Structure 1
Amino acid sequence: MTARLVSSVPPQADVVERLVDDSVASRIAQCDASLWPRAARPGWVTAARASRPLVGEIEALREQLRVPGQVRVVLAAAGGVGVAAEVLAEHDPRLVVLDTTDPAQVADALAGDLAATVLVVSAPPGEDTRAVELVRDTVHRAFRAEGLDPAAQTVVVTAPGGPLMEQAAGATVVLGPSDVDGPWAALTAFALVPAGLGGVDVGAVIAEAAEARAELDSDDPANPCLALGALLAAAPVVALAEDGATGLAEWAAQLVAGGLGKDGRGPLPVVVEGSDAPEWADPEALRPGTLTVSLSASGIGALDGAAVTTLGSPAAQFMLWQYSTAVAAHLAGVDPTDRPDAARVAGNGAVHAPGVQFTDGDIDVHAGAWLPSGTSTVAEALRALIDAADADAHLAVHAYLDRLDDASAAVLRPELTRRTGLPTTFGWAPRCLPGSGQRDKGGPADTVICQITGDAEPDLPADLAELQQAQARADAEALAGRGRPVLRLHFTDRVAGLVTLARAVQQL
């Protein structure tokens, strides 16, 4: 199924005409790096074609694992490939994604049938692999406790020469390309291997991507990537919703945030809940020029009120959004795939972060010097955070929690939007991009951040909990270093803390 675009807000005709005259679409297809100031990792352009040999390799590996009954996949992932694999698998329960170090979520994954489980460790080049390595080691301990051989039940997907390859220790190794990362790696081995081992027809995925690319390569005003790219480049906020629970909106938000949110520029992508979201009801009320986009993998219909609808299979939409983001980056004069290696900027974990300013019930409140003295409640701290924002700011909420058991935290997003009047993003960290853009590039300007962290149960692995808290502190310091106010709300009891936070939001 090719990707299609239905739009009631066509971009300026002269912009699309200029893109056609400059042969932007065909130059992208030819990996013409002169379209951007620098193309750090352009391998996404040819990823689908380069991945064709994987079809037989994945099918053979799947059959090999099926013989001893290994039909359940636990994916330890970094860099956004977990989201892409989930989209391709359509949330098939045979694929369990661990792109987190939350000890409760890891423990839930290990509660399944370990004898029937294959661990896939996947991290594109440039990612900080400490989290996936720790999850890998935790799963391996569980395998050994059951009398299972970890090497026989592990598949490592890595670029040649990467640290994961050096640590494979007898596990099956599948090589991925060295010139892709993050959401741009959606059609490479990093996402295709775990999805394929989980039952996805990888041959069909690649065929759908190739069919879509044939249309996106053309220098034609009807090419949907030119229209969508022009709209993305002009919008201050992009509200993304989807028909169904495919995860496409979350993946597209990561792509747009990382591809365009640099040096204080770029649109703010916001994943919203659907037609009931405040951004959908009145886009102009929050930020004039807000673009609303409905993503439909079924190719049928659209959400009511959608200004733009993208239609097509997940593979086709991966291609459409990657091409469109590259077009928007060309118009904005930024590098869509350029970012510092996460492994290089992560540091050694020794981070100076603000201590506890006060405690309100089951929440320890951490904040910088921007918090007024005398603040004593979570509601007051939230109001102070909002007051620190100017008229063009947005609120980013990063939840370093269990996205399954603590899923109710996400319902706070639309309520915060309504009560603060600020566009509000919500993401499960570190799965999301901190700051709703690139942490080390600064992301969109004028961001205020609320981090949510929580204590783990004492019987869960302490090393996972320690790394999770260290990730939050490192992200907070990096964002504060960019001048972003960061409020960290730490739940000493996750259930009670969420209740306290919900009450505080109602007081805004």
Structure 2
Amino acid sequence: MTARLLSSVSPQADVVERLVGDAVASRIAECDPTLWPRAARPGWVVAPRTSRPLVGQIEALREQLRVAGQVRVVLAAAGGVGVAAEALSDADPRLIVLDTTDPAQVADALAGDLAATVLVVSVPPGEDPAPVQLVRDTVHRAFRADGLDPDEHTVVVTAPGGPLQEQAGAATVVLGPSDVDGLWAALTAFALVPAGLAGTDVGAVLADAVAARAALAADDPANPCLTLGALLAAAPVVALAEDGAPGLAEWAAQLLGGGLGKDGRGPLPVVVEGPDAPEWADPESVRPGTLTAGLGEVPGAAVTTVGPPAAQLVLWQHATAVAAHLMGVDPTDRPDSDRGPAGQNGGSTPGAGAHFTDGDVDVHAGAWLPTGTSTVAEALRALVGTAEAGAHLTVHAYLDRLDDASAAVLRPELTRRTGLPTTFGWAPRCLPGGGQRDKGGPADAVVCQLTGDAEPDLPGELAELQQAQARADAEALAERGLPVLRLHFTDRVAGLVTLARAVQQL
């Protein structure tokens, strides 16, 4: 994976030497909690080793399910473990991730062969289980409608004593650790079980992770996590592009957002389409021969991390922890919803009723929207006009990331036409923790939410929850003083066409 850190920063030898002198790398490997103001859940550090007993358990369960004809894995997940499972499984088509309550995407998953399907329910500690529970109940109704016993087609991955364990009934339960959180649980049962049941060699994954972790524990200037961590702590924008590792850039962006985005601070991670993206700005990529060779003397601020996906996951976790140490923040802690600093953009909560309708798009906004605005293009221009120096545009799409994939194509065009770094994510998948309200920063953002009606024959309770999630996130963002524009598509296809035309008019 290639990362372009958009600033004038370069690896500062004195910073790396200070990290070496303070034994930061070895102290991380030893789970030293004094490196950060508070280490909420440090179990990620030893996960590659403590997860070893899972290898035989997952292999036996996979064989049991294979004999029963269950070779298709539908993962109902929260907290970023779905993204991690995709990265570890190399986007194996046997793994279908539902980290959304979008009714159309859930319906697509249920359109497959249910008799050949196993539902994996995975919620790491600290996550709200309610959305996953609703998806689970929807899938279970589909199993029953096909004459299948849900318990025979369900695997629950949860921390001990959680509500999911209590509700598991006769379903298979795999216990994960209680001292990991969200994206930091990538190398625990929460992501390894679904990836392994879909065919990933979990033993090889953990072997790669253990080898990488050993190299990253060295208090040596050549340790790549120290150089990368120093870069991350200093860069305002980090553009991430994949080099043949599906899902890794998205996972890393979420890790940086949740791990370093605290109290209105932290780099802005942007997943870009490749070196042609406007954020890339003539990178000078450095491609070391192996992961443990380090990042080398990086002349600019473009680095490439290479190696097996699990090794790169470990590198980015350790580098993020190093950056958090330099920034004085807690990488696994989450700020409370009211701790984010209020911005200066006069944000206010979008009301329940639309300000106006433009074709198949209902437009919702706060008091920042000028009176007389009557088109989506005008609303977008007004949103961008609230942006102050150093701000960015973020787009959260509460839609079907498969059928509505054309929405993501607009990201680079929005950057070119607005002049603002633009992030795009499928919500709530892209929002660490319970949503953007738990992220905490960077603070200088203008926000565009995309939501849409579902077909009448799809599960109504999923649509209601999805809209409620979007409204809750919009309210929390507005309470932080951020302007939020919500574009609701009463017809998704037509609405996306209207949006695309509006972007062309910016």
Aligned to 2:276: 276
Aligned to 1:384: 382
Alignment: residue pair count: 487
Distance 2:493 2:72 in 1: 30
Aligned to 1:287: none
Map of 1:391-470 to 2, 5 A cutoff? 391-433=389-431, 438-470=436-468
Shift of 1:138: 0.5
Instruction: Tell me: CA distance 1:298–1:216, structure 2 relative to 1, closer, same or farther (3 Å).
Output: closer
Shift of 1:181: 1.2
Q: Aligned AA for 1:213?
A: R
Alpha carbons 2:10, 2:301 under 8 Å: kept: no
SS in 2 for 1:483: coil
Distance 2:478 2:406 in 1: 27
SS in 2 for 1:280: coil
Aligned to 1:348: none
Per-residue deviation, residues 209-267 of structure 1 (Å, max 9, x unmatched) = 00000100000000000000000000000000011351100000000000001100000
- Is the counterpart of residue 59 in structure 1 residue 54 in structure 2? no
Normalised TM-score (structure 2): 0.92
Distance 1:191 1:15 in 2: 34
- Is the counterpart of residue 314 in structure 1 residue 306 in structure 2? no
Q: Aligned AA for 1:232?
A: L
SS in 1 for 2:45: helix
Aligned to 1:335: 330
Distance 1:416 1:6 in 2: 19
- Greater than 3 Å deviation, 4+ residue runs: 3-10, 291-299, 351-354, 434-438
Per-residue deviation, residues 306-348 of structure 1 (Å, max 9, x unmatched) = 8211111110001000000000000000000001689xxxxxx
Distance 2:35 2:301 in 1: 31
Shift of 1:439: 2.2
SS in 2 for 1:227: helix
Distance 2:313 2:9 in 1: 22
Instruction: Tell me: CA distance 1:505–1:296, structure 2 relative to 1, closer, same or farther (3 Å).
Output: farther
- Is the counterpart of residue 491 in structure 1 residue 493 in structure 2? no
Shift of 1:280: 1.4
Distance 1:132 1:36 in 2: 31
Alpha carbons 2:398, 2:452 under 8 Å: kept: yes
Shift of 1:295: 12
Q: Aligned AA for 2:54?
A: L
Distance 1:298 1:25 in 2: 16
Alpha carbons 2:2, 2:285 under 8 Å: kept: no
Q: Aligned AA for 1:430?
A: P
Q: Which runs of no fewer than 5 residues in structure 2 stay unpaired?
A: 338-348
Aligned to 2:132: 132
Alpha carbons 2:436, 2:477 under 8 Å: kept: no
Q: Which runs of no fewer than 5 residues in structure 1 stay unpaired?
A: 284-290, 343-350
Map of 1:37-48 to 2, 5 A cutoff? 37-48=37-48
Alpha carbons 1:435, 1:479 under 8 Å: kept: no
SS in 1 for 2:305: strand
Alpha carbons 1:262, 1:437 under 8 Å: kept: no
- Tell me the C-alpha RMSD between the 2 structures: 2.6
Shift of 1:433: 1.4
Aligned to 1:503: 501
Aligned to 2:214: 214
Instruction: Tell me: CA distance 1:157–1:204, structure 2 relative to 1, closer, same or farther (3 Å).
Output: same
Shift of 1:30: 0.6
Instruction: Tell me: CA distance 1:293–1:358, structure 2 relative to 1, closer, same or farther (3 Å).
Output: farther
Identity over aligned residues, as a percent?
A: 82
Distance 2:218 2:148 in 1: 52
Distance 1:5 1:372 in 2: 38
Q: Aligned AA for 1:329?
A: A
Shift of 1:4: 11
Map of 1:467-478 to 2, 5 A cutoff? 467-478=465-476
Alpha carbons 1:249, 1:295 under 8 Å: kept: no
Distance 2:472 2:309 in 1: 33
Map of 1:40-439 to 2, 5 A cutoff? 40-244=40-244, 246-282=246-282, 307-339=302-334, 353-433=351-431, 438-439=436-437
Per-residue deviation, residues 54-76 of structure 1 (Å, max 9, x unmatched) = 00110111111111111110000
Distance 2:65 2:106 in 1: 22
Alpha carbons 2:74, 2:97 under 8 Å: kept: yes
Q: Aligned AA for 2:107?
A: A
Distance 2:288 2:441 in 1: 24
Distance 1:151 1:430 in 2: 27
SS in 2 for 1:439: helix
Instruction: Tell me: CA distance 1:436–1:193, structure 2 relative to 1, closer, same or farther (3 Å).
Output: closer
Per-residue deviation, residues 433-475 of structure 1 (Å, max 9, x unmatched) = 1799952352102111000000001111111111110100010
Per-residue deviation, residues 182-221 of structure 1 (Å, max 9, x unmatched) = 1100000000000000000000000000000010000000
Distance 1:188 1:392 in 2: 37
Alpha carbons 1:293, 1:306 under 8 Å: kept: no
Shift of 1:169: 1.3
Q: Aligned AA for 1:323?
A: H
Aligned to 2:343: none
Shift of 1:275: 1.2
SS in 2 for 1:498: helix
- Is the counterpart of residue 480 in structure 1 residue 472 in structure 2? no
Distance 1:296 1:262 in 2: 34
Distance 2:272 2:291 in 1: 19
